[in-house]
Amino acid sequence: MDMRILRTLKVSILILAASCIYSFKGFTAGKVYSVFLDTFKNTSERTGIEIDVTKIVTDYFDSDARIKLVSEKDSEYLIYTTISGYRNEPYQYDPDGTVLSYRVVLMSYVSITEKSSGKKIREDKLITGWGSYSAAEREDEGLQRAANDLGMKILQEFISSVSQ
């Protein structure tokens, strides 16, 4: 019994020590990209979401150690995004046909430009993010999850585009 407690304590200390140094912004070994992420444009049927989606995606970019968000003037890369579609649809049902959860889908066109050369690395690439929310939650919860998913996918597209 004492050995199990001692082993559990050792593992707990190791996990605690490792979590103290773990960070999305810490210990980066690769290149850091200076990026300007413009406020999203919105041509979707859901008006007024562009500011919230821009903030959520910006926060997602800011949490990545490979990205330094800067002004347009100081950037190496420019990212422009247009939200072109928005859907809120039933996602899961119970056996009686009652909706248990919904899914918010954001469709966006993303353009990435290398500022120094003016070269378009990606032009109007369609990227879709989605997030689900339970019937007990509000649609805004799904929108927030969809924006986080969109941020992850835009970041992945950016990193894969500039590292080629």
Residue 90 tokens read as 């039933």
Does residue 137 form part of some domain?
yes
CATH number of residue 153's parent domain: 3.30.160.150
Does residue 44 form part of some domain?
yes
Number of C-alpha atoms within 13 angstroms, CB side, residue 90? 7
Separation CA 56–CA 70 (nearest Å): 16
Q: Could you list the residue range(s) of the whole structural domain that residue 78 is in? A: 29-162
Does residue 104 form part of some domain?
yes
Does residue 8 form part of some domain?
no
Among the ranges given (10-24, 74-88, 91-105), the one the predictor scored with the smallest mean pLDDT: 10-24
Residue 93 pLDDT > 80: yes
Does residue 144 form part of some domain?
yes
Residue 124 pLDDT > 90: yes
Does residue 2 form part of some domain?
no
β-bridge mates for residue 112, sequence order: 79, 122
Number of folded domains that form the chain:
1
Does residue 5 form part of some domain?
no
Does residue 95 form part of some domain?
yes
